[in-house]
Structure 1
Amino acid sequence: MLDDIAYIWIRSLGLSISPLPFEAPKHQVSTLWKAAQQGDVGIRWFIGLIEQVAQMSWTMGQVG
């Protein structure tokens, strides 16, 4: 989903995706939520979105 949006912007706005020209430090992303919200559809959607972004970032970091 996110990569689809990125490629739409690339095509429509003339953007490009390139690796950073310098070493960037690694960072960790964490999420916390109340146990009572475990079944919340919005929370599950948001966690899935974060996972997609993380996977996309990891994949892009492997290129080159």
Structure 2
Amino acid sequence: MSRIDRLALQTRLAWHDLADDERGDVPGWVLITLMTAGLVVGIWLLAGPALEGLFTQAIARVTGGLG
């Protein structure tokens, strides 16, 4: 086996190892994304009414102060 053939083989094996490592991470990223979305929805449900009240109050103060 020539030196170039060995280098090509090593490169292919290294690429294959990298590809295998990356594929194993996909379910982890999907889980993290879904958990983050769940947390955002949960916080929004809990804090939504309070944030709406703050926003309404702030708008009322701004519009009341102009007129």
Q: If the TM-score is normalised by the length of the shorter chain, which range does it land in?
A: 0.3 to 0.5
Give 1 or 2 for the bigger CA radius of gyration: 2
Greater RCO between the two (CA within 8 Å, min separation 6)? 1
